[in-house]
Each structure stands twice: as structure tokens, then as C-alpha cells.
Chain A
Amino acid sequence: MEYTERLSNVSVLGAAGKMGSGILLLSALEVADQMLKPENKDKHFVVNAVDVTSSALPGLMKYIRAQVLKAAEKKTVLLRKLYAGRKDLIENSDIIGAYIEDVMGIIRPGIRIEAAYESTLIFEAVSENAGLKTRLFNQINENNPNKPWFFTNTSSVPIGGLDKEAGLDGRILGFHFYNPPAVQKLVELITTPSNSNGMKEFALQLAKNMRKVVVPSNDIAGFIGNGHFMRDALYGINQATVLSSDMPLHEAIYAINRISQDYLMRPMGIFQLIDYVGVDVVRFIMNVMNPYMADENLHSPLLDQLFEVGVKGGQFADGSQKDGFLKYEKGKPVAVYSPEKGAYIPVSDFANSVDTWLGTLPESVLSWKNLVKAPNKEMLAAKAFSDLKTFQEKGAAMAVQYARHSREIGMKLVSDGVAVTAEDVNTVLLTGFFHAYGPINDFVV
């Protein structure tokens, strides 16, 4: 089965979710690109958008329509060529409208898994539950005569296990997008020895057509992205706990969040990142990964504590941030959760004293925003860390330790065989997490 035929009937499972909706969009756009090729004009294409939450489907279709409009407006020069034969479409607005109708015409929203029984390719983006995933794969595989390929978006569950449990004979690989899939450039591609070459080649071609940067990762729970993030998060949480002997825990959380953002020149602090992903999701991923970790314990009692009192972070349907470790107003942290008091304490109550305790920052430490757009960011980051190393302030010393630990996590991912090269680890952090420099560097050696 060649590339186009493989895309003739695609299903996206969990299509109304945060990841699923983006995967649906990218799939539909790619399928439409195939459909609009003159040689495919007589072929039929379908993308099933499957989600159990029926009430979410109208909103999903609205989202997709708005995104397809945006995509069409960006590629109207090409679309005019593709629709050159349609004499009734004259103005850009006519052509953009026709393209939207064509893309939307491919998508079939629905709540029933049976839709996937005729698919040739299945994207899975349901919740991170190995049992659920196995059940769905198994059911589809038993009822689908096409021997479909399963591309799972799991960020933590080993692929080999899913393959074996669901009896897929190597017809599954990890195709892990980053959030939001329509914007983030990174795809972690997790293949197993059972995958056919044709399947791997197809996956690479698909990622290329979706304009993604592909980083191969070996099939070890958490892969590269979460392999780094979960350990980095755990380190941050543990550092805050240690620091809480010097100050209340909420102040320590503020301090570590500042160190991991302002001092390390990252787009957000580690606690804000945990909130962004979701306290519950991070805890869940650690729980998924932990059984596979022989020599370490990926578990945080503090995450359990927050989860139990319902402090979960994540996002509202409109994309705005829910409160987690931090409380947000217009997307900016304004207070920190105190596990002791069970309440948020305004940052303004303690920021000055904690900032004084941390000490001043070297001038060479730039904001992430300024560093990331600088043409010579490697050089600037090296200078900042060289100053941090010699600065006699508590915050600077903790930042250097933090960066060293992040580097060790990266190196371990390579030595454990999760990542093939150090460069792959850096690419994941640069493109998937928008860091301005890779964790495996010489700055803090």
C-alpha cells in the first residue's frame, strides 16, 4: 500500500482532546493535500474524528474550521494553482471557501469506535491509560480487515508492550506530538524492532509533510521528552522541599520556580510548566513510567498531596491556565499554593524577601525572550553560566546545580539508550520545550 492509499481512511481516536484535535487538523490537512492532487481526483478520502464525548464534537468542528481557514489564508498562492481548473472560483475568498469545504468534507465526526473498522491508519490520542489503549487497539484490530497501522501519541507508555498486549504484530509505533500539535514542530518517533521498514518510512514522510522535526527515541517509558521533564520536575520539587527548611514551602516553590525560569533562562519555571501540563497529568505520567525504572523512584508525595486536595492545574477549554502550584491572573502567576495552609499566598507578600535571599542576578543572564531570539544564543548562554558559576549568591549557586542536574538527566537518556545522541536530547528540549539552549552543554561542566 503506497503513501496516498495509506491515507485514504484515517481515524483519530480521542479527536476532541487537546492533542487529538491538533492531530485531527494536521491529518485532515495532509489528506486534503493528497486529495487535491490531480492524479487523485477520483479517489475517496475519509478522516474519522472519534471521541466518546459527544458534546465536544460541535466545538471540535468549529475549531478545525477556524484552523483550516488560517491554513488556507497562508497558502492561497498554492491553492490558486490547485483550484485553477475550477472556473467558478475566482477570488481568493472563493478559493479559500472551497478549500475549507473540501477539508471539512473529509472529516466525519462521531462517537463510535466502529468508524475505525475500515481505516488504514489510526492515530490514537486517548488518555494515558495503557489498559484503555490496549482494549481499543485490540477491538479495532479484530474487526478491521485492512491490517491498519496504529500511530499512538502516548508520551510515556512503552510501545512494545502495547503491541504485545493488543496483538498487533508490529503494526504500532509511537508518533508523539507536542502540545499544541498544530504549532509545535517536534515529533518524537518511537519505533520498535517489530516495525516494518515501510511503516517507518511512511512515518518519516508523514512527519515531513506535516513540517515536523523528527527525533527518534527508543522504546523506553517516557521517551526523551518526558524522560527529561519528569526527572527535571522531580528535581525541582525535591529542591523546594529541601529549601523549605529555610523558608515556608510556598516561598521555596516560588524560589525554585524563579531559579528554573529567570536564572536558567527558560520560557517558564518548572512549577509553571507542571501546572501547564497538569499536576494530575505529571503525577499520572510518573506513575506510568515508574514501574519501568529499575534504579530510581519517579514519585512525588507533594504531587499526591496536591492531587488529593484537587489542585490540578491544566487548562480551561479556552486555553487559559487553571490554578495549580501557582495561581494565575491573565496567564501570569500571582500567588503560590501553600500545602500547609491549604490556600494561595500572594506573591507580593514574600517576593522581596525571597528575592533578597536568592541574591542578585548577573547582568549577562538574559530573559528567555531576549536570549531565544539572539543570533548568538549559545555564546550568550555560555557567558551567563560562566558568570553564574563565579557569582557568590545563593540563587546563582542553586541555578548552576539545577543546570548540572538537567545535563545529567540528558546524558543518562543517552547512556540508557533512550536517545541515540546528545543532539537528539537537545533538539527535543529546544523544539518541544522551547528552551534557548540544550541541556547537554559545556556551560556548567
Chain B
Amino acid sequence: MKPSKKIFMIAGYNTISMGTGRKEFNPRKERPGLEHYIKEAGEGTIRQIGGGEHVDEGVVGNFMASRFNKQAHLGAFLGMIDPSLRLKPATRVEGACASGGLALVTGIKSALAGSAEVVLALGVEVQNTVKAIYGADILAGAGWFQRRKEGHAYFFPGQFSDRAGVYFEKYGRDKSRKAFARWYRNAVENARLCPTAQEFENKTADLEVLALTEPNPKSFTDHLNVFDCSKVSDGASAIAIVTEEGLNRCGVALKDAVEVVGIGHATDDLTALPADPTRLDTVAHAVKIALESAGITASDLATVETHDCFTIAGILGVEAIGLAPQGKGADFVLDGHTARDGKIPFNTTGGLIGWGHPTGATGVHQAVTIWEQFTGKAGDAQISIPADRPYGLTINMGGDDRTVVAIVYKKTV
């Protein structure tokens, strides 16, 4: 979808991605709940746009608060963020781990439809309320429940382990596992530059050696180890989606905004199995639409935030974008092209593996990272954006390549 008028994103905010790895995290002690994260992220954004009175509408992206927190009806938390937001329209949207991306798309559509000039888009998930083995049950809701019985105890790691297994067979295990390990290293090294990242304090000396730990099918999956997986996270991210009128209303300078120039939103049959486990077809489709609607190609991108819920998803993402041919994504990563000093830095604040994966928040977090990078607000994680490639891409995936939101952003100044 090509925006029919100018749409910008401004005033991004991320809470800490909380979970194992953060020193504040203690699973035995009571921790902040959904409300805390929603409020912190919401306030973080409205503070930068002159207050909640400038907001016309709110969209909350969330996957499974109904099970993780026994809480539904998240749209109605908007008024809790600030009294100025009470009685404004608000909606909660859900598309598994792409819920955050759906919040962005929904906000963009409202702005395009003319029903809002300023939309507060917020994503949130608080998952550390249950142990990982039960969290796996909850997250499995992103797949077709009729297949849960035959699935792995850790359902989604199991799905992507199967994809990795086929990839190994087709393109070589050794090379692929090395690429996974490099992906992990890049993720953690980037996260160490971002104070809100879950792996910010990771002190492991040799990350690649650690990541090459052999998978243990007895306690986990056949082809992936825990370092191939994003962690369990609590967190929220927020950003404001505005029209030109909205930008003026908020008093935010153009240089502090990114422009949304292309959107690809695709879903595929939840009950169907992937035609080829070594391809992310829905991702490829959504990215194609997003790039085409922006009028650019993958070679015009300065940076990408891709949905690396697992290292294999990161590699397959590289291929789905078209940066490397099928089977060559591993080489692309091993050649250093996705590192922060590479040809096209990926996941510059750590991505899902390094920054964290509070599922419903991830899509919004990706947008916030691009906004930070394109407005010079990324702090120690800042990369330089080449003048001839002023574009960024986010890919937010729900389930096993079933719902995908891809957005192309352009640096404004």
C-alpha cells in the first residue's frame, strides 16, 4: 500500500525489555504488570508531542494478555496513561507476534482515512507471568490449535527447528550453524549499545562459541539451542503516527520525524503448512509490496529491522528481502554484511534476540529503532545513514510466517 498522503512517525519510546539477562529481573519477586508498561510507554510518547490532548485516537497491539495476564480489553487502558486521553477512541488489535505491526498499520489507515491526524500506537506484552514451559502453550496460540497436539513442547522453537533442519539438509549444517552463531553475536553486540535492551548487560566474552553449543533434543529442540531463540520478555513501545497537520499540531520538527513511504501487509492460511520450509513466502510477499509501493529496491535500504524470533528466521528474512539468493543468506551473514559496520546493518539495537521480544510490542519497537536511527537519537547504537540510501525497512511477523507487516521508512532531512 502506497500512502495517499504524507504520513510520519514521531516521538518513539521503548521501556526496558525485561526478563532474564537484566539484573533488575528476579522471577521470584513481584514485578510491574501490563499497566506499568502501557503507562510508561504511552507517557514517553505523549510527553514528546505536547501532551495527550493532541492525540485523536489510540491503537494498542497485544497478542495474549488474555492468557499471560488474564486481561482483555486493552484499548480501554488508554485513559489510564493520561487523563487527557480519556474518552478518545481506542482499539486493541491482534495478529500474534505481528500485533505491534498491526497497531502501526491500523494507525496509518486511520490517518489516511482522515479520521485521525495523530494516532498513538502502542504495543505491549508481559510474558514473565508464567514459566517458559507454560508460556510456550500460550504462544502456540499463534499457530493452528488443531496442530498443537503434534507440536513440540516448545511449540514455536519446534516449528523453526524444523525449518532449520530442512535448511541444514539443503544448504549445509556447518555453515548454517556458524551463521546462526554470527547472527547471535551481532544481536548481542548491538544490544550492548542500547540501555533498554534485554542483553544490554550481557558480558559473555566469546558469543559465537557459546552460540555454537550443540542443540539438545532431549531437553529442547533438534536443531536450535536456546541462543538461537529470542527470550521471554516484558515490555512496551509507543510511537505517534501523524499526518502533516498532526506534525504541526504536535510542534515536532520535520527532522525529528521519519516518513512512511511503503506498506506491505499480508496474511496466509493459518491451517496450511509452509510450501517450502526454507522460505518465508509471506514475508517475501509483504516486503515486495512494501518496497514496490515505496518505489525502491532492497539495494536502496540503509538498514533493516527484521523479525529474528529465531536465528533461522533472521537468515530466511535476509533471503526473503532479496538481499541474498535462497541458501545464500547464511553466507551473507557470515560475510559480515548484516553487522553494524556491514553493507546493510540489521537490527541495530539487538533485534528480537538481543533487544528482546515482548511479542505484542515488537512491531512498534522496530519502528522506534528506525525512527531513532533516522533522527540521530540512537545514542551509542547510532549508525550512519548513507545519503543515497535514506530508506529503512521493518518486518514484523506473526506466527510461522502467517501475518506479516513490512513498512518502508524514509529519512526526512
Residue among A78, A90, A96 making CB contact with B149, cutoff 8 Å: A90
Residue among B134, B140, B148, B220 making CB contact with A77, cutoff 8 Å: B220
Contact bitstring A64-99, B, C-beta under 8 A = 1, else 0:
000000000111111110000001011111001000
Chain A residues lying within 8 Å of B148, measured Cβ to Cβ, are: 90-91
- CB contacts under 8 Å to A, within B129-175, are 131, 133-134, 136-137, 140, 145, 148-149, 152-154
- With contact pairs A76-B153, A80-B153, A87-B149 given, residues A92 and B136 touching in the complex (Cβ less than 8 Å): yes
B27 nearest CB across to chain A (Å):
13
User: Do residues A93 and B131 form an inter-chain contact, with CB atoms below 8 A?
Assistant: no
Chain A residues lying within 8 Å of B131, measured Cβ to Cβ, are: 73
User: Do residues B133 and A80 form an inter-chain contact, with CB atoms below 8 A?
Assistant: no
What are the 5 tightest A-B residue pairs by CB atom distance, in nearest-first order?
A: A91-B137, A76-B153, A77-B153, A90-B149, A80-B153
- CB contacts under 8 Å to A, within B269-296, are none
Asked whether B218 is an interface residue with its Cβ less than 8 Å from the other chain, the reply is yes
B152 nearest CB across to chain A (Å):
7
Q: Is the interface of B mostly helix, strand, loop or mixed?
A: loop
- Selected A-B contacts with CB under 8 Å, 18 pairs: A73-B131, A73-B133, A76-B153, A77-B153, A77-B217, A77-B219, A77-B220, A78-B218, A87-B149, A90-B145, A90-B148, A90-B149, A91-B137, A91-B140, A92-B133, A92-B136, A93-B137, A96-B133
Contact bitstring B183-217, A, C-beta under 8 A = 1, else 0:
00000000000000000000000000000000001
Chain A residues lying within 8 Å of B152, measured Cβ to Cβ, are: 77, 80
Besides A77-B152, A90-B149, 8 other CB < 8 A contacts?
A74-B219, A75-B219, A77-B217, A80-B152, A90-B145, A92-B134, A92-B136, A93-B137
Chain B residues lying within 8 Å of A92, measured Cβ to Cβ, are: 133-134, 136-137, 153
Interface residue tally for chain B (C-beta within 8 Å): 16
Across chains A and B, the number of contacting residue pairs, with CB separation under 8 Å, is 33
Rounded to whole angstroms, the CA-CA distance of A90 and B143 in the bound complex is 13
- CB contacts under 8 Å to B, within A174-230, are none
Interface residues of B (CB under 8 A from A): 131, 133-134, 136-137, 140, 145, 148-149, 152-154, 217-220
User: Do residues B219 and A93 form an inter-chain contact, with CB atoms below 8 A?
Assistant: no
A375 nearest CB across to chain B (Å):
14
Chain A residues lying within 8 Å of B134, measured Cβ to Cβ, are: 92-93
B90 nearest CB across to chain A (Å):
31
Rounded to whole angstroms, the CA-CA distance of A96 and B220 in the bound complex is 16
Of B136, B145, B149, the most chain A CB neighbours within 10 A belong to B149
Chain B residues lying within 8 Å of A75, measured Cβ to Cβ, are: 219
Rounded to whole angstroms, the CA-CA distance of A233 and B79 in the bound complex is 67
Chain A residues lying within 8 Å of B145, measured Cβ to Cβ, are: 90
Q: Which single residue of chain B is at the shortest CB-CB distance from A96?
A: B133
Rounded to whole angstroms, the CA-CA distance of A96 and B136 in the bound complex is 13
Chain A residues lying within 8 Å of B133, measured Cβ to Cβ, are: 73, 76, 92, 96
Q: Which single residue of chain A is at the shortest CB-CB distance from B146?
A: A90
Q: Which single residue of chain A is at the shortest CB-CB distance from B150?
A: A84
Chain A residues lying within 8 Å of B218, measured Cβ to Cβ, are: 77-78
- CB contacts under 8 Å to B, within A48-77, are 73-77
Rounded to whole angstroms, the CA-CA distance of A180 and B399 in the bound complex is 43
B204 nearest CB across to chain A (Å):
15
B314 nearest CB across to chain A (Å):
24
Rounded to whole angstroms, the CA-CA distance of A78 and B218 in the bound complex is 7
- CB contacts under 8 Å to B, within A79-123, are 79-80, 87, 89-93, 96
A437 nearest CB across to chain B (Å):
26
Q: Which single residue of chain B is at the shortest CB-CB distance from A75?
A: B219
Rounded to whole angstroms, the CA-CA distance of A90 and B133 in the bound complex is 13
A145 nearest CB across to chain B (Å):
40
Q: Which single residue of chain A is at the shortest CB-CB distance from B155?
A: A92
Chain B residues lying within 8 Å of A77, measured Cβ to Cβ, are: 152-154, 217-220
Rounded to whole angstroms, the CA-CA distance of A74 and B153 in the bound complex is 11
Rounded to whole angstroms, the CA-CA distance of A93 and B134 in the bound complex is 6
Q: Which single residue of chain B is at the shortest CB-CB distance from A78?
A: B218
Chain B residues lying within 8 Å of A80, measured Cβ to Cβ, are: 152-153
Rounded to whole angstroms, the CA-CA distance of A80 and B137 in the bound complex is 12
Rounded to whole angstroms, the CA-CA distance of A439 and B140 in the bound complex is 52
A393 nearest CB across to chain B (Å):
35
Rounded to whole angstroms, the CA-CA distance of A391 and B220 in the bound complex is 50
Contact bitstring A4-24, B, C-beta under 8 A = 1, else 0:
000000000000000000000
Q: Which single residue of chain A is at the shortest CB-CB distance from B136?
A: A92
Rounded to whole angstroms, the CA-CA distance of A90 and B148 in the bound complex is 6
A36 nearest CB across to chain B (Å):
16
Q: Which single residue of chain A is at the shortest CB-CB distance from B140?
A: A91
A93 nearest CB across to chain B (Å):
6
Chain A residues lying within 8 Å of B149, measured Cβ to Cβ, are: 87, 89-90
Chain A residues lying within 8 Å of B154, measured Cβ to Cβ, are: 77
Contact bitstring A406-419, B, C-beta under 8 A = 1, else 0:
00000000000000
Q: Which single residue of chain B is at the shortest CB-CB distance from A83?
A: B149
A94 nearest CB across to chain B (Å):
9
Chain A residues lying within 8 Å of B136, measured Cβ to Cβ, are: 92
B262 nearest CB across to chain A (Å):
39
A175 nearest CB across to chain B (Å):
26
Rounded to whole angstroms, the CA-CA distance of A112 and B52 in the bound complex is 71
Chain B residues lying within 8 Å of A87, measured Cβ to Cβ, are: 149
Rounded to whole angstroms, the CA-CA distance of A91 and B136 in the bound complex is 9
Of A73, A76, A92, the most chain B CB neighbours within 10 A belong to A92
Rounded to whole angstroms, the CA-CA distance of A74 and B95 in the bound complex is 30
Chain A residues lying within 8 Å of B220, measured Cβ to Cβ, are: 77
Rounded to whole angstroms, the CA-CA distance of A93 and B140 in the bound complex is 12
Q: Which single residue of chain A is at the shortest CB-CB distance from B149?
A: A90
Chain A residues lying within 8 Å of B219, measured Cβ to Cβ, are: 74-75, 77
Rounded to whole angstroms, the CA-CA distance of A80 and B219 in the bound complex is 12
Chain A residues lying within 8 Å of B137, measured Cβ to Cβ, are: 91-93
Rounded to whole angstroms, the CA-CA distance of A90 and B131 in the bound complex is 17
Q: Which single residue of chain B is at the shortest CB-CB distance from A86?
A: B149
- CB contacts under 8 Å to B, within A117-170, are none
Of A74, A75, A80, A96, the most chain B CB neighbours within 10 A belong to A80
Q: Which single residue of chain B is at the shortest CB-CB distance from A73?
A: B133
A67 nearest CB across to chain B (Å):
15
A85 nearest CB across to chain B (Å):
11
Rounded to whole angstroms, the CA-CA distance of A77 and B131 in the bound complex is 15
